[in-house]
Chain A
Amino acid sequence: MASARELVKRRKSIRNIRKITRTMELIATARFKKAMDRASEAAAYTKKINEIVADLAAADLKFSHPLLQQPAEEKNVAILVLTSNRGLCGGYNGGILRPTLRRLRQLESDGKNVSLEVSGKRGIAFMKFEGVPIDRSYTQFEDKPAFDDVNEIASRYVADFIAGRLDRVDVAYQEFLSSSKQAPTIQTLLPIGDLAGSGGADEASNGASIDYEFLPSAEEILEELVPAAFKARFFKTFLDAAVGEQIARMVAMKSATENADEMIRDISMEYNRARQTQITSELAEIIGGAAALE
């Protein structure tokens, strides 16, 4: 059994660690709430875009746009991986990076030109460790991704896709399903499979159809609307990732704090026993000494 002094030392250091994890949990909770608010505010934009798409669909318009078309040959594929800049968030990064690596290997064995883009220091470090070359990396996205920054990347993808330099854009991120469930997903954002999809459009279209005036024509509105819809979806992946990171950190830190609590309890008990033993043995020594003198 360890000495009482040693146990005190250990208990003290665990208490310190507990303080840190507890604080991190609180910070993550606050950030999570903020990120969540941003994500739900951003949902209004996506919903409206879908509504306009439904309005256009009601006008008997045939959707044809370069971003909607599947290229004849899929050769150049871009994968964007969204990870966090900081660690201590449990299985958040590992959950994304493992399937991403599998996908990368598969695409490479299929003979495609893959350009890998990674956001977040954790992902960059992982790819470096695995020896996978990264084409572009971003570290500026924290828990509050700004639309202007995201838009820059999105615009480049749109330009590259239209020019035929890119045939597919995949984004790997933790999709936000509910505040207790996130799942790593690799989503193909370009070409846009189904414009009216992912909710919103159905409920908007079942009302009585309104005879809209289109300025300019429905076709020309569509031309601008498709990239806007893509950008809104692209932005949503960043928001989801930000929310997911905070949730993962919150959960990880909560269980770390609980573990620390348990350890402190155990060590306290052990310490009490050690102290008791020490006292008993000292007493025995004194009594033994006194008995020898008699």
Chain B
Amino acid sequence: MIAATELRLVLVTPETTLLDERVRSLQFPMYDGQIGVLPGRAPLVGRLGIGALKVETSAGGTDRYFIDGGFVQIKGSIVTLLTDRAIPEKQIDTAQAKSALAAALAEVPTSEEGLQAKERAVERARRMAGM
């Protein structure tokens, strides 16, 4: 068998298919840390974290997106990312993310669920601001 030399990235949100293109490699956050995918990766199903998706396109450039949780499926040469929200780097409003972070930090949760929601909101805003 010839070694795989390319990957196809499909980035899907509930509203639309944002990306469907050939890429050289990509990096994205899993639930517990970064993962890098090169052609020939073994099949995988996993949970995504919150953070930056870095794509090295076949033209040689790099693209960055903010992704907000979801799932990944790697099957053959196709990498499918399912995420609730994916925002191209250019469209991210850093100032707004910072104010969202401040708002999330200022919140005082009174229950266990509230605490979890706060942690998620803080993490999301922090990652977005840090893009």
Q: Which residues of A contact B (CB under 8 A)?
A: 38, 41-42, 44-45, 48-49, 51-52, 55-56, 146-148, 151, 159, 210-216, 218, 220-221, 224-225, 228, 231-232, 235
Contact = CB atoms under 8 A, between A and B. Distances in A.
Interface in B1-47: 12-17, 30-32, 42-47
A214 B45 contact: yes
A146 B84 CA distance: 11
A162 to B, nearest CB: 10
Given A147-B84, A159-B113, A228-B70, A52 B15 contact: no
Contact of B84 (A151, A211, A218, A221): A151
B18 to A, nearest CB: 10
Contacts of B80: 48
A24 to B, nearest CB: 26
Contact of A215 (B17, B30, B75): B30
A214 B46 contact: yes
Nearest to B41: A213
Given A42-B15, A48-B82, A213 B73 contact: no
A73 B69 CA distance: 34
A56 B45 contact: yes
- The interface residues of chain B, by DSSP majority, are classed as strand
Nearest to A231: B14
Interface of A: prevailing SS: helix
B16 to A, nearest CB: 4
Nearest to A215: B46
A212 B41 CA distance: 11
A216 B35 CA distance: 13
B47 A221 contact: yes
29 contacts: A38-B15, A41-B15, A42-B14, A45-B15, A48-B80, A48-B82, A49-B71, A51-B73, A52-B73, A55-B45, A146-B15, A147-B14, A148-B85, A151-B84, A211-B43, A212-B43, A212-B44, A213-B42, A213-B43, A215-B44, A215-B45, A216-B32, A218-B45, A221-B45, A221-B47, A224-B71, A228-B71, A231-B14, A232-B14
A77 to B, nearest CB: 23
A43 to B, nearest CB: 10
Nearest to A236: B14
A225 B17 CA distance: 19
B35 to A, nearest CB: 8
Nearest to A213: B44
Contacts of A56: 45
Nearest to B71: A52
A178 to B, nearest CB: 22
Contacts of A228: 70-71, 82
A210 B71 contact: no
B78 to A, nearest CB: 11
